[in-house]
Structure 1
């Protein structure tokens, strides 16, 4: 994580958990229009301070949804049939979504880069949703993401200052 002079990331995981209830209450009452105007700037600031390659917690512990367009595109890049990619790397979860079979993500490399970065699932490309309305429309995802992603923590803290 990059050093920051104006924001303290020390013990951010604990502070995020401690503030989960506060985040939930504030997200429920948020002025969506005003928040949408602030999110792009806060998202950009977060990623000036957070180095994903030094973290990769999302890839190490969770799975994106692999939608059929993602599966078609990635299997082509990997030189596999779609069914082969699914049986090799994915399973269908209880919500009916394809997700990776194992953690960390099988496409995460030792240096925390992604083997399929240019063709990654749309969920990965959009993660952590801190520059879009998903932040308050899907509050449970935001709260979960704040537990393991310092960028989400930063955006929530700054949004509610």
Structure 2
């Protein structure tokens, strides 16, 4: 079986091992980042987001699509049901269920809309959560530091952003 690698040549198994190994220190970093002024933190994340995504191509990885589910809003369900010419209730029954938090999520992973070439088959109509993922270039990073920490285990780019931002705040 071929080893799955991202663009930088890191296989996803190695990424998983490293991100799990660093999770405890990243959790401490997350707590330190809560003390950084909100605007400064947003700017630092956005700048790192831009530089990291100049190097990393999501199509070479797609680990998010292979391992996790976005939350589907009702507007996402309605839009995708229309794409597949289904009633929203049929789309829900076919692809989604409610998780413990009451959110609509995929029944299984990898995402059923992920092509073999790692391209999204519904890219133009994808859920809002997919459009915004990995959320590292948005305002109010303070409000999603917990989610961002979890995403260090899913997305090599988020892991790399955390490693880079940590150079200034791990002391």
**Normalising by the residue count of structure 2, what TM-score does the alignment of the two structures yield?**
0.82
Corresponding position: 1:90 with 2:102: no
Equivalents in 2 of 1:111, 1:134: separation in Å? Answer: 33
Q: Deviations over 1:77-111 (max 9, x none)?
A: 11111011000000011111100001111111111
Hey, what does 2:64 align to over in structure 1? 58
Equivalents in 1 of 2:23, 2:53: separation in Å? Answer: 21
How many residue pairs end up in the alignment? 157
- Specify which of 18, 27, 30 is matched with residue 21 of structure 1: 27
Q: CA deviation at 1:144?
A: 0.7
Hey, what does 1:107 align to over in structure 2? 113
Residues 131 and 14 of structure 1: is their aligned pair in 2 closer, same or farther, counting only changes over 3 Å? Answer: same
Please provide the CA RMSD for this pair: 2.1
Residues 72 and 39 of structure 1: is their aligned pair in 2 closer, same or farther, counting only changes over 3 Å? Answer: same
- Structure 1 unaligned residues grouped into runs of 5+: none
Corresponding position: 1:141 with 2:163: no
Q: Deviations over 1:46-67 (max 9, x none)?
A: 1111121121111111100000
**Normalising by the residue count of structure 1, what TM-score does the alignment of the two structures yield?**
0.87
Equivalents in 2 of 1:28, 1:155: separation in Å? Answer: 16
Q: CA deviation at 1:3?
A: 4.0
Per mean C-alpha deviation after superposition, the further-off stretch among 57-66 and 125-134 is 125-134
Per mean C-alpha deviation after superposition, the further-off stretch among 40-49 and 54-63 is 40-49
8 Å CA contact 2:38–2:140 kept in 1: the answer is no
- Structure 2 unaligned residues grouped into runs of 5+: 1-5
